Amino acid sequence: MAKAKKRKELSKGLLVLAGGLAFTGCGQPVVQTTDAVPEPAASQSSAEKPVITPANWPLQQPPIARTEAIENKIKTLLAQMSLEQKVGQIIQADIASVTPQQVRDYYLGSVLNGGNSAPGRDNRAGAAAWLQLADAFWQASTDTSDGRPYIPVMWGTDAVHGHSNVKGATIFPHNIGLGAMREPELMREIGRVTAAEMQVTGLDWTFAPTIAVVRDDRWGRTYESYSEDPQLVASYAPHILQGIQGVPGSADFLKGQHMLATVKHFLGDGGTVDGKDQGDNQHTEAELRDIHGTPYYAAIAAGARVVMASYNSWFGEKMHGFRPMLNDVLVERMGFDGFVVGDWNGHGQVKGCTPTDCANSLLAGLDMFMAPDSWEKLYQTTLAQVKDGRISMQRLDEAVSRVLRIKAEMGLFEQVKPSERPLAGRYELLGSPEHRAVARQAARKSLVLLKNNQQLLPLKANSKVLVAGDGADHIGKQSGGWTLSWQGSGNKNTDFPNGESIYAGIKQAVEAGGGKAELSENGRFTDKPDVAVVVFGEEPYAEFVGDRSHLAFDDGRALQILTELKTQGIPTVSVFLSGRPLWVNPELNQSDAFVAAFLPGTEGGAVADLLIRSPAGEIRHDFQGKLSFSWPAKATGELLNWGDKNYQPQFAYGYGLSYSDNTELAKLGEESGISADQVLNFSRYLHAGKAVNPWQLQLLDKGQVTVVTEPLQKSAGGALEAAATDRLQQEDSVLLTFQQDAAVAIQHAQGMALDLSRQANGDMTLELEYQVVAATEGKVSVAMQCGEHCKSSLDFSGYFAGMAGKGWQSLKIPLRCFTAANSAFDLSKISQPLVLEASSGLKLQLAKVRLAENEGQGQCGN
What is the secondary structure of 14-60 as a DSSP string?
-EE---EEEE-TTS-EEEE--SEEPPBPP---TTSPP---GGGSPP-
Rounded Cα gap, residues 516 and 525, in angstroms: 12
Is residue 343 part of the annotated active site? The answer reads yes
Pair (484, 413) in one structural domain: no
Rounded Cα gap, residues 271 and 285, in angstroms: 12
Q: What is the pLDDT confidence band of residue 514, given thresholds at 50, 70 and 90?
A: very high
Task: For residue range 815-846, list pLDDT tens digits in order.
Answer: 999 999 999 999 999 999 999 999 999 999 99
State residue 251's pLDDT score: 97
Rounded Cα gap, residues 206 and 779, in angstroms: 49
**CA 785 from chain center: how many Å?**
28
State residue 465's pLDDT score: 99
Beta strands in 253-380 (DSSP E): 263-266, 280-281, 306-309, 313-314, 317-318, 339-341, 369-370
Task: For residue range 185-200, list pLDDT tens digits in order.
Answer: 999 999 999 999 999 9
Rounded Cα gap, residues 837 and 737, in angstroms: 12
Evaluate the CA torsion angle 641, 643, 644, 648 in order and state its sign. Answer: positive
Q: Is residue 20 part of a domain?
A: no
Task: For residue range 646-668, list pLDDT tens digits in order.
Answer: 999 999 999 999 999 999 999 99
- Mean pLDDT of the region 366-391: 98
Pair (483, 588) in one structural domain: yes
- Mean pLDDT of the region 28-34: 33
% of the chain at pLDDT higher than 70:
93
Q: What is the pLDDT confidence band of residue 856, given thresholds at 50, 70 and 90?
A: confident
Domain boundary residue among 381, 398, 428? 428
Pair (392, 477) in one structural domain: no
Pair (464, 380) in one structural domain: no
Pair (644, 700) in one structural domain: no
Q: Is residue 629 part of a domain?
A: yes
Round the average pLDDT of the chain to a whole number and report it: 93
State residue 64's pLDDT score: 97
User: Quick check: 840 and 776 in contact, CB under 8 A?
Assistant: yes
User: Quick check: 381 and 356 in contact, CB under 8 A?
Assistant: yes
Q: Is residue 862 part of a domain?
A: no
User: Quick check: 344 and 114 in contact, CB under 8 A?
Assistant: yes
Evaluate the CA torsion angle 172, 177, 178, 181 in order and state its sign. Answer: negative
Spell out the residues 6+ positions from residue 414 whose beta carbon is closer than 8 angstroms to its own: none
State residue 754's pLDDT score: 87
Domain boundary residue among 632, 647, 674? 674
Task: For residue range 439-462, list pLDDT tens digits in order.
Answer: 999 999 999 999 999 999 999 999
Residue 3 has pLDDT above 70, yes or no: no
- Mean pLDDT of the region 468-487: 97
Pair (690, 670) in one structural domain: no
- Mean pLDDT of the region 541-566: 91
Q: Is residue 35 part of a domain?
A: no
Q: What is the CATH number of the domain that holds 266?
A: 3.20.20.300
Q: What is the CATH number of the domain that holds 537?
A: 3.40.50.1700
Evaluate the CA torsion angle 251, 253, 256, 257 in order and state its sign. Answer: positive
Rounded Cα gap, residues 429 and 440, in angstroms: 16
State residue 42's pLDDT score: 38
Range of lowest pLDDT (47-56, 210-219, 589-598, 609-618): 47-56
Q: What is the pLDDT confidence band of residue 68, given thresholds at 50, 70 and 90?
A: very high
Rounded Cα gap, residues 366 and 266, in angstroms: 11
Residue 25 has pLDDT above 70, yes or no: no
Residue 20 has pLDDT above 90, yes or no: no
Q: What is the CATH number of the domain that holds 733?
A: 2.60.120.430
* DSSP 3-state of 485: strand
Rounded Cα gap, residues 484 and 166, in angstroms: 6
Count the domains in the chain: 3
State residue 679's pLDDT score: 57
Is residue 741 part of the annotated active site? The answer reads no
Range of lowest pLDDT (25-34, 324-333, 512-521): 25-34
% of the chain at pLDDT higher than 90:
85
Spell out the residues 6+ positions from residue 790 whose beta carbon is closer than 8 angstroms to its own: 824, 825, 826, 829
Pair (584, 722) in one structural domain: no
Using alpha carbons only, how large is the chain's radius of gyration in Å? 27
Nearest to 773 by CA among 733, 813, 740: 733
Integer angstrom CA distances of residue 615 from 460, 531, 574, 844: 8, 17, 22, 55
* Secondary structure letter of residue 4 according to DSSP: P
Rounded Cα gap, residues 367 and 10, in angstroms: 31
User: Alpha helices, DSSP H only, in 158-200?
Assistant: 175-181, 184-200
State residue 711's pLDDT score: 82
**Of residues 547 and 768, more confidently modeled:** 768
State residue 678's pLDDT score: 59
Pair (715, 653) in one structural domain: no
Spell out the residues 6+ positions from residue 306 whose beta carbon is closer than 8 angstroms to its own: 205, 260, 261, 262, 263, 338, 339, 340, 341, 406
Pair (80, 162) in one structural domain: yes
- Mean pLDDT of the region 699-712: 92
Q: What region, left, alpha or beta, does residue 256 occupy, with left being phi > 0 and alpha being psi -120 to 50 degrees?
A: left
Q: Is residue 592 part of a domain?
A: yes
- Mean pLDDT of the region 257-263: 98
Residue 29 has pLDDT above 50, yes or no: no
Q: What backbone torsions phi and psi does residue 595 show, to the nearest 5 degrees?
A: -115, 125
User: Quick check: 690 and 696 in contact, CB under 8 A?
Assistant: no
Domain boundary residue among 620, 655, 674? 674
State residue 729's pLDDT score: 67
Rounded Cα gap, residues 688 and 726, in angstroms: 9
- Mean pLDDT of the region 742-757: 90
Task: For residue range 148-187, list pLDDT tens digits in order.
Answer: 999 999 999 999 999 999 999 999 999 999 999 999 999 9
| Domain, as residue range, for 786 | 683-853
State residue 24's pLDDT score: 32
Integer angstrom CA distances of residue 728 from 521, 688, 725: 15, 9, 10
Residue 106 has pLDDT above 60, yes or no: yes
State residue 16's pLDDT score: 26
Q: From the candidates 337, 543, 721, 853, which is the catalytic residue?
A: 543
- Mean pLDDT of the region 202-226: 98
Pair (696, 800) in one structural domain: yes
Pair (690, 633) in one structural domain: no
Q: What is the pLDDT confidence band of residue 544, given thresholds at 50, 70 and 90?
A: confident
Q: From the candidates 183, 217, 224, 343, which is the catalytic residue?
A: 343
Integer angstrom CA distances of residue 752 from 215, 678, 748, 755: 25, 10, 6, 10
Nearest to 227 by CA among 174, 274, 185: 174
Q: Are strands 154-157 and 205-206 parallel, antiparallel or unpaired?
A: parallel
Q: Is residue 463 part of a domain?
A: yes
CA atoms within 13 A on the CB side of 840: 4
Q: Is residue 27 part of a domain?
A: no
Rounded Cα gap, residues 700 and 685, in angstroms: 17
State residue 366's pLDDT score: 99
Pair (402, 454) in one structural domain: no
Residue 39 has pLDDT above 60, yes or no: no
Q: Is residue 586 part of a domain?
A: yes
